[in-house]
Structure formats: structure tokens, C-alpha cells
Amino acid sequence: MKVIICGAGQVGYGIAERLVVENIDVTVIDKDPKRIEAIRDTLDVRGLVGHGSHPDVLAAADAANADMLIAVTLYDEINMIACQVAHTHFNVPIKIARVRSQAYLGPEFQSFFSRESLSIDVVISPEVEVGEVVLRRLAEPGALDVVVAAEGKATLLAVECLDDCPLLETPLRQLSQLFPDLRAVIVGLKRGRDIFIPNAETQLQKSDIAYVTVASDQVRRLLSLFGHEEQEARRIIIAGGGHIGLYVAKAIERKNLKTNVKIIEADRHRALHIADELANTPVLNGSALEQAILQDARVEETDLMLALTNQEQVNVLSAMMARRLGCKANMVLVNNPLYEELTRTNGIDAHINPRNVTVSKILQQMRRGRIRAVHSVSHGQAELIEAQALETSSLVGPPIAELDLPGNLRIGVIYRDGAIIRPVGSTRIIAGDWVTIFALAEAVHDVEQMFRVGLEFF
């Protein structure tokens, strides 16, 4: 597969980094020579200096033979035009554009991105996607990651095993016996830096992160079984009034939640703008690194600090300062995976990585077969894939125990006729079922093969 990426900023770099791992032929275009030099030096990609929307630059990138164009520059209009040029002049099959401005994203403008208009196949808004991740995490306190599957009927949770987790040192086979009515499967474990698929004899250990698929109506019960009894935050400080911070604050207002939110924004003009956009959310102008500003926001009475600025150092330091001043918990936005490792034991409760969120959206378009959703886990170490099993799928027919599935993947949920089925050895998958699978990176190709559409289907 050949992919052209327009834009070598954080989003473009993150996408390129992930695609290179999959041995995809990647060309990156950016008008900044320093960015192109940096990406050439660190990744096995071809780099071109120029405007991604210019036909001559796309021609130099061999757009005529490209399978996909991903336009993720900082400018919506350039991204849109790049997709249009790629379609009109080079007939690129799949065009993806990053669109940040909410003025373009209203439901009344969806036809604007159709093939008859701008020929954009997929519109991604990392800010909106990350905002939705934040909101899901707010709704499920105690979870390190929350992914919805099966039309909302199932959820993947990442849950840390703390010192007082009652499930420690218990073989997983016993959990099914102890809680037979719990529609949940532990599909993956992260121990240290490694992710693996557990077996029936695996025992949970302190500091493990368990990836669990569970029926959505049993999420709170599952979290309590892991020892997480955290209550939803009612008093929140948002550090950063950018696209993400504003999106989250507006969503909380719109949902009419009983939550008191304050925003701290360093730029005065931006602070005035978002104050006009919000109905009843106070906006404080100042740096979240200033103790006086945090105290003005009553940080000592706050349940949660959301550090959502575009500077990860500010996010980490302000969240740590808030904890020291009495804030109960924090959640920070970070792009660099190293920060997650360094801050786990230094007062940071939870991380959100925008690169993971965006890459998941891109991978969803690249995976072959009847795949509806993809979520990248732990910087590409694993993926959660939701796909439909057709009559030609190798999964259809025999009991799961007889399928001889690879050991580096596990079926978490089967969704059939609006109901969740917890898979066991005797369960049979039938044509039309939606199946959610947790797969290590090396098993993703096997999953694609399971859901490929055979010629006999037609």
C-alpha cells in the first residue's frame, strides 16, 4: 500500500510512525524544510518540501499510484483542497482530511464532504475525537481507557490492578466460576512495558493493566471488582481553552450535568472568546503553572484537573502542582509515550494520547474486510478490532474451541440481534455476527484474513 501524508506536525508524524511499522510505503509532504528533515532522519519515509494541495507537489509524490491521501496540515482549507486535487487529477481511491473548525462540522454540512462536492471520503477531527475520549473517561472514573463497541452495548476498559484489588493472584478461570453472570472477558494484560494475551491459569499481579471487554450495563460492577470505587468528578478544572478544552466544557454544559467546571486559559484573546462561547463556565485568564491562578480556581476543593493545553510539559507540571495543592485526581494530554512511563509514579493518574486516537481512526480505513471499528492500544502494541463475520469467514460454523485461533488474539464480545454474547468454548459464531477481537500487533493480519470477503460471497 502507498500512502501520502500532507503535514508533518504532531498528527502527521504520529500517523507516519505507525504506518511505517506496518511496512507501508509512506511519503510525507510539508512546506517546512526542518520538519521534513526531522522526519527523514527518524523514520523510513520519503519526504518532500512543498504545499500538499499543489498538483505539481502531489505529482512528485507519485499520487497517481497512491492508495490513500491523508491531509493533516494545520489548515482545514489546504486539507480539503489537497483531497480535491488528489481526486480530480490523480484519482486517489481514499482521501482523508483533518478538519478542526466546528463551522465545517455541523450535521447540516455533511453533504459538503461528499464525492459530488469535495470528494473527501473521511473527515477526522482529532480535537473532537480526543474530546469524546475525555468525556468517556469522565463517565467511567477509575478506567485508564474506555472504548465503546457493539453499538454501545459493550465496552473495552483498561483497568489498573492496585494494591487492594481483590482479584490479585487469582487464576482467571476462577473468575468465571465466581461471577458466572458477569458478561466480561479479560482479553489482554499489560505488565511493565509488555502486552500479552492471558490464559486460564494467568494470575493478575499488582500494577498490571487489564484490558477487559464487558457489557456496558455492567461497567460499574466490573470496576468495583477491581477495587475502583471512584465517584464521578463534580468539580473540574480544565487547563487549556483550546479546541479540546472548549469542546469538553460545551459538552458538559449541553448534557446539563451536575458538574462545576472552570477553565484556565493563558491567552487573553482566547479566554475572552471562549467566555463568550460558554453559558455558565467561568474562564480564568492566566497560566495553569501559576499557584495563584490555581488557588483562584479553588483547586483545593477540586475533584479532577484536566490538563488539555497543547504543551505536554505544561500539562504534566500543572497536573502535578494541582495534586500537591489538594486536587483529588488529574488527567493529562500527552503525545510523547515517554511521559506516560516517567509520570506514572509521580502524581499523574491518567493520560490521553491524541496520536493513539487519530491513528485508530486512520487504521479503521486501512484494515481490510468487514471492519467497523479499530482502536490502537498502547502505542500500537495491540488493537481492538470490531468486524462482521460473513458466510465466507473462517470464524463461522465450528465452536470457538475448535477454531484453533492463534494465541496472540482473543475474542471478547459477540454482538447478535441487539444482544451481547460472552464467548466460551462451545459458542458458535454465525454469519452476520459482529465480533470484537483484541489482537497483538503481529496478529492483526490474521484478524483481517478472518473477516476478508471471499469471492464466493458475491
pLDDT per residue as tens digits for the range 260-309: 999 999 999 999 999 999 998 999 999 999 999 999 999 999 999 999 99
Q: In the numeric block, which cell numbers belong to residue 376?
A: 490502537
d(CA 276, CA 311): 24
Q: What pLDDT is stored for residue 457 in this prediction? A: 40
3-state SS, residue 361: helix
- Same domain for 62 and 161, yes or no, is no
* Strand-pair category, 184-191 with 209-215: antiparallel
Distance CA 301, CA 315 (A): 19
Q: What is the pLDDT of residue 116?
A: 66
Closest CA to 280 of 310, 313, 296, 258: 258
How far is 43 from 206, CA to CA, in rounded Å? 36
- Are 139 and 211 in a shared domain? yes
Is residue 347 a contact partner of residue 324, using CB atoms and an 8 Å limit? yes
106, 124, 142 - which closes a domain: 124
Residues 149, 101 share a domain = no
Helices within 31-125 (DSSP H only): 33-42, 55-60, 76-90
> What does the pLDDT read at residue 357?
81
Q: Are both 220 and 253 inside the same structural domain?
A: no
pLDDT of residue 287: 95
Q: What is the helix (H) or strand (E) element at residue 148, kind and residue range?
A: strand 145-149
The answer to whether residues 401 and 457 touch, using CB atoms and an 8 Å cutoff, is: no
Domain extent for 253: 235-327
* Grid cell locating 453: 470477503
User: Are residue 150 and residue 58 in the same domain, yes or no?
Assistant: no
210 part of a folded domain: yes
Write the CATH number for 314: 3.40.50.720
Low-confidence ranges of the chain (pLDDT < 50): 455-458
> Which cell goes with 427?
459458542
**Residue 230 belongs to some domain of the structure:** no
Res 113: pLDDT: 66
Helix (H) or strand (E) holding 314: helix 312-324
Count of the separate structural domains present in the chain:
4
Question: Is 272 found in the same domain as 208?
Answer: no
Burial 224-249 (b: 16+ CB within 10 A, else e): ebbbbebeebebbbbbbbbbbbbbbb
Domain presence at residue 344: no
> Does the residue 443 lie in any domain?
yes
- Residues 170 and 203: beta-carbon distance below 8 Å: yes
Residue 108: its pLDDT value, please? 65
User: Distance from CA of residue 215 to its chain's centroid?
Assistant: 20
CATH number reported for the structural domain that contains residue 163 in this entry: 3.30.70.1450
pTM of the prediction? 0.84
pLDDT value for 1? 87
Rounded Cα distance between 212 and 230, Å, is: 18
pLDDT at 297: 95
